[in-house]
């Protein structure tokens, strides 16, 4: 007796729980691998899984086993030249670890030193962002209309034509037609029957007046049936929308980068990673994240993402031009009461000396009061220049919301990123 069962439609991911338990248990190991990966990888391909290796000894499940030593007998196949009594030198260094005696006894496989597996993309990102939190994430008050989301909420009898529910309207119409025609139809059937009866009577007994009368009645009823409208305004149904207020978790991130001649390609690569990490981070945490790319040399310009990272410019550096532009953009498009505003700036620290002072004033007076957070990374192995020192005084004014760090090489980036965005047990609220 045999049954066939198609189990394919059954629930997938039966092992998902076990998998999660495993990842949870070896969190530390996996995190280390992920951190290495983030440093090593080009960030453009951050969006994929990662192969993780954990030393087998760390995850082994111990059982009583024979250790090396003592006398062991091993039967092996494939003898070619040995005869009884031959003596063979011990194969180098191996204490008989992979002897045939274990033949198929272990299902752990090859006894590699590393247990390797692949994290999915989601799991990978989960680990990358583990423990990070956007600083000072404020719920912006529900002021504007834009913060209201319309959700479908049943049907109503009135509304705009664009929101007509055709199926529901037709159904209503159908019901109404049936209801309205029923009594007329009944009367019609009666009249028809009466007419028939009358006509079947002997010609002598017929009442011609009655026949005429009935015929007129039938005609009238048929007309009435036809007159029942196919669809009536009464039938129309509209999808109803109701306004649901949504807490604002929209953010805009200004990426500001120096693209002057003093920024080498290496500098830009590092800056690029920083921005990309930020971008991924934000995307993960906000429902809606807008990005504004501002690059500058002596003059600042808002550019597309593509242009921001991949086109070349030369010239001197005036940082304040960028700050000015950021401020203008905020005024024009991102009112601070509706948006969480973040600025991330990357530079090699070069600036016209006079300008650094302007930058500081501008930050303190205009920008910082509107921003949630300002992160500045300086990519240079050299001594700091005037810009850094001016920024230090800004940081003095806003220790909570202004962060600055120095990066020397690509591998620093992840640590700095973590440090800047470390979960702050909100002093804010």
Q: Could you tell me the smallest distance in angstroms from the CB atom of residue 78 to another protein? A: 3
**Is 73 a residue that touches another protein (CB under 8 A)?**
yes
Residue 45 corresponds to which tokens in the numbers above? 């391909």
Contact status: 17 vs another protein (CB under 8 A): yes
Q: Which of the ranges 74-82, 153-161, 234-242, 340-348 carries the binding residues for another protein, by CB under 8 A?
A: 74-82
- Of 45, 86, 122, 383, the residue at the interface with another protein (CB under 8 A) is 86
The closest alpha carbon to 46, from 129, 116, 114, 115, belongs to 129
What would the DSSP string read from start to end of 235-297? G--EEEEEEEE--B-EEEEEEEEE-STTS-HHHHHHHHHHHHHHHHHHHHH-SEEEEEEEEES
Task: Read off φ and ψ for residue 395, nearest 5 degrees.
Answer: -60, -35
Nearest by Cα to 392 from 426, 363, 419, 372: 363
Which CB, 42 or 120, lies closer to another protein? 120
Is 267:354 a contact under the CB 8 Å cutoff?
Answer: no
Q: Which of 28, 75, 154, 161 binds another protein (CB under 8 A)?
A: 75
Classify residue 427 as exposed, middle or buried by CB count within 10 Å of its CB (0-12, 13-18, 19+): exposed
Q: Which of positions 96-115 make contact with another protein (CB under 8 A)?
A: 96, 99-105, 108-110, 115
Task: Say if residues 201 and 129 touch (Cβ distance below 8 Å).
Answer: no
Under the binding rule (CB under 8 A), the answer on residue 72 touching another protein is yes
Residue 108: CB minimum distance to another protein, A: 8
28, 88, 161, 162: residue in contact with another protein (rule CB under 8 A): 88
Integer Cα distance of 103 and 98 in angstroms: 9
Q: Which of 45, 85, 161, 399 binds another protein (CB under 8 A)?
A: 85
CB-nearer residue toward another protein: 66 or 186: 66
Rounded Cα gap, residues 47 and 278, in angstroms: 13
The reply to whether 92 sits near another protein by the rule CB under 8 A is: no
116 binds another protein (CB under 8 A): yes
For residue 33, give every residue at least 6 positions away whose Cβ sits within 8 Å of its Cβ, in sequence order, or none.
50, 52, 53, 54
Indicate the residue among 109 and 154 with the shorter CB distance to another protein.
109
Q: Report how far residue 410's alpha carbon sits from residue 52's, in angstroms, rounded to the nearest whole number.
A: 21
Q: Is 365 in the site for another protein (CB under 8 A)?
A: no
Which residue among 76, 207, 328, 426 contacts another protein (CB under 8 A)?
76
Q: Give the interface size with another protein as a residue count (CB under 8 A).
A: 68
Lay out the site mask for another protein across 383-412 (x = CB under 8 A, - = otherwise).
------------------------------
The encoded tokens of residue 130 equal: 């583990």
Residues that bind another protein (CB under 8 A): 1-8, 10, 12-15, 17-25, 59-80, 82-90, 96, 99-105, 108-110, 115-118
């Amino acid at each position: 007796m045999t049954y066939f069962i198609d189990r394919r439609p059954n629930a997938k991911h039966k092992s998902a729980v076990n998998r999660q338990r495993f990842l949870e248990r070896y969190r530390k190991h996996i995190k280390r691998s992920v951190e290495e990966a983030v440093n090593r990888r080009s960030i453009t391909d951050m969006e994929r899984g990662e192969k993780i290796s954990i030393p087998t000894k760390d995850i082994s499940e111990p059982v009583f086993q024979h250790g090396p030593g003592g006398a062991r007998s091993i039967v092996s196949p494939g003898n070619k030249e040995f005869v009884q009594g031959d003596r063979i030198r011990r194969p180098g260094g191996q204490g008989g670890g992979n002897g045939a005696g274990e033949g198929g006894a272990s299902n752990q496989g090859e006894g590699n030193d590393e247990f390797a597996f692949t994290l999915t993309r989601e799991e990978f990102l989960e680990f990358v962002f583990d423990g990070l939190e956007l600083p000072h994430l404020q719920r912006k008050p529900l002021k504007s209309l834009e913060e209201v989301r319309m959700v479908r909420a049943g049907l109503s009898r009135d509304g705009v034509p664009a929101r007509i529910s055709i199926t529901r309207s037709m159904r209503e119409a159908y019901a109404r037609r049936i209801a309205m025609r029923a009594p007329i139809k009944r009367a019609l059937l009666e009249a028809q029957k009466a007419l028939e009866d009358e006509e079947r009577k002997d010609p002598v007994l017929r009442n011609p007046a009655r026949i005429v009368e009935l015929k007129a009645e039938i005609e009238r009823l048929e007309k009435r049936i036809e007159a029942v409208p196919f669809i009536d305004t009464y039938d129309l149904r509209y999808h109803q929308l109701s306004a649901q207020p949504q807490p604002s978790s929209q953010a805009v991130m200004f990426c500001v980068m120096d693209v002057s001649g003093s920024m080498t390609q290496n500098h830009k690569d590092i800056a690029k990673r920083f921005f990309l990490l930020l971008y991924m981070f934000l995307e993960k945490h906000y429902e809606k994240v807008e990005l504004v790319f501002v690059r500058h040399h002596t003059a600042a310009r808002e550019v597309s993402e593509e242009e921001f990272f991949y086109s070349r410019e030369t010239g001197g550096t005036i940082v304040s031009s960028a700050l000015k532009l950021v401020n203008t953009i905020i005024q024009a498009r991102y009112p601070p009461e509706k948006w969480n505003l973040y600025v991330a700036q990357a530079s090699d620290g070069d600036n016209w000396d006079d300008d650094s002072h302007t930058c500081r004033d501008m930050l303190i007076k205009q920008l910082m009061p509107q921003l949630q957070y300002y992160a500045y990374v300086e990519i240079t192995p050299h001594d700091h220049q005037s810009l850094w020192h001016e920024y230090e005084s800004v940081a003095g004014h806003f220790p909570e919301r202004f962060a600055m760090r120095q990066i020397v090489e690509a591998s620093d980036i992840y640590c700095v990123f973590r440090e800047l965005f470390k979960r702050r047990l909100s002093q804010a609220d």
